[in-house]
Amino acid sequence: MNRSDVLIIGAGPTGLVLALWLSKLGVRVRIIDKTSAPGTTSRALAVQARTLELYRQLDLADTVVRNGHRVAATNFWVNGKPVAQLPLNRIGEGLTPYAFVEIFPQDEHEKLLIERLEDYGVTVERNNTLESFEESGDGITAHLRLPDGEQEICQACYLAGCDGARSVVRKSLDAGFPGGTYQQIFYVADVLASGPALNGELHLDLDEADFLAVFPLAGESRARLIGTVRDERADRAETLEFSDVSSRAIEHLKVHIEDVHWFSTYRVHHRVAEHFRQGRAFLLGDAAHVHSPAGGQGMNTGIGDAINLAWKLAAVLSGGAETSLLDSYETERIAFARRLVSTTDKVFSFVTAEGRLADLLRMRVAPFLIPKMASFEASREFLFRTVSQVTLNYRGMPLSQGTAGHVHGGDRLPWAHDGEGDNYEPLRQPCWQVHVYGDTSDEMIAWCHEHHLPLHVFDWRPAFEAAGLGRNGFYLLRPDTYVAIAENSADPKVIERYFRDHGIRPYFNCP
């Protein structure tokens, strides 16, 4: 019988990243997908800064940046003219190594992930369908339908449902999926075009309650149009063609279409599953949460789910942690998913609101306020922190402890960089590690050496103070680079108690 450590259902970005991280950490994975080939009409575009930071652990970040497109500005249009601009180039300066907005289409993204996964000897098994599964005391037994129609019974220690909004795994777990559906029909078109909106920047039309945006793609004159319709055309979404929606792009944003590579329509929901875990089965990505495309958060959030779960599964499977560590996956990720769905829903509802007041706010007030806000560094920084996911944190949750400087347990470790170095370099290794900024004790050095826990001591510099890091204390970092302990002392017994209380064995650490 085919047996793996983790059986992954669904080979979108979420499932592929989960498979990659687990493979890097030495876990045997099997990944199946019901489709015959990777998607070619994908919708997700933005790869946020936090995702790029974490991609350094798989040596993916530079490749994504090199093959993607960096967006210099967002332009807002009213009555066929650009009326406001928000500069994006280096909008997150000093906050992250990736202080910009990166466009890398999901289809190209998936191709890259598949190639990297094959380097580990793992291939996506296509035309394979999960029919059912059941849990026994020591694992999962899954029933698959193979491409030739035959059924296969396979076993795994754990099962990961990365199979999208219509998740078979979620339905099998009978997990509720409360929320709603937007009344608009969304459409996506990948086009070859010309005009002032094809200058490599992002363009948004504020004229009407129907949303319309032009996203730049790598390559000359390539763009992706994303829009909505809500009138009588929405009642015939299945037969909607590009000619039914193209006039708005031509009239409002002066886009001259030369060729349409592909066009599709879809409905968008805003929902969060009631549970992200039941026993040995987990829900990730769109199987766990779906929301509007506002802010380019969906794919990045699914990738965040995968990375959060991967190191925890690897620790448990290797004997490096008790199974109770897996309880923290739902606690940490469901809280963020609920906040995200609420936030993107409010943003999208404002952008697409109908009525005279809504039109006034979009067409008169917003063009006046946007340049004003863009002129303030604090406003630009707030926007970037929110969209880039660098403020995502697990404060107040079971694996988070203490405060040192301005950094709390559960925070993403602040990036500090100057001419003398970069405190993110050690984070390329996905393992528990300790950072000290300043001096530490002989006891800390000895304890970390004895327990094979990497210790990185940085000479104190102004860059660390500017980043909000505390001096002469320590930060225990999880394998996903979030702060587990922020502590002002140099006492290794704090780490020893933490590992003991959470059932974690530091001897089982770096891959």
Lookup: tokens for 92: 């997150």
CB burial of 416-431 (b: ≥16 within 10 Å; e: otherwise) equals beeeeeebbebbeebb
Q: CA triplet 245, 246, 252: central angle to 5 degrees?
A: 105
Spatial distance between the Cα atoms of 450 and 442, rounded to a whole number of angstroms: 12
pTM of the model: 0.94
Task: Find where tokens 């899954």 sit.
Answer: 142
Q: Which is it for the CA torsion 482, 487, 489, 491, positive or negative?
A: negative
Per residue in 244-286, pLDDT (tens digit) is: 888 877 888 899 999 999 898 888 888 999 999 999 999 999 9
DSSP 3-state of 304: helix
Phi, psi torsion values for 78, nearest 5 degrees: -140, 135
Could you list the pLDDT tens digit for every one of the 511 residues in the chain?
588 999 999 999 999 999 999 999 999 999 999 998 887 666 789 999 999 999 999 999 999 999 999 999 999 888 888 888 888 888 888 999 999 999 999 999 999 999 999 999 999 999 999 999 999 888 999 999 999 999 999 999 999 999 999 999 999 999 999 998 887 888 889 999 999 999 999 998 888 767 888 999 888 889 999 888 877 777 777 788 888 888 877 888 899 999 999 898 888 888 999 999 999 999 999 999 998 876 678 899 999 999 999 999 999 999 999 999 999 999 999 998 998 888 777 777 766 666 777 667 766 677 777 777 766 777 778 888 888 899 999 999 999 999 999 999 999 999 999 888 899 999 999 999 999 999 999 999 999 999 999 999 999 999 999 999 999 999 999 999 999 999 999 999 999 999 999 999 876 666 6
Per residue in 54-103, pLDDT (tens digit) is: 999 999 999 999 999 999 999 988 888 888 888 888 888 899 999 999 99
Spatial distance between the Cα atoms of 80 and 228, rounded to a whole number of angstroms: 18
Lookup: tokens for 342: 């609420």
Spatial distance between the Cα atoms of 163 and 48, rounded to a whole number of angstroms: 22
State how beta strands 281-283 and 417-418 pair.
Answer: unpaired
Q: Are 411 and 393 in contact (CB under 8 A)?
A: yes
Q: CA triplet 6, 10, 13: central angle to 5 degrees?
A: 100
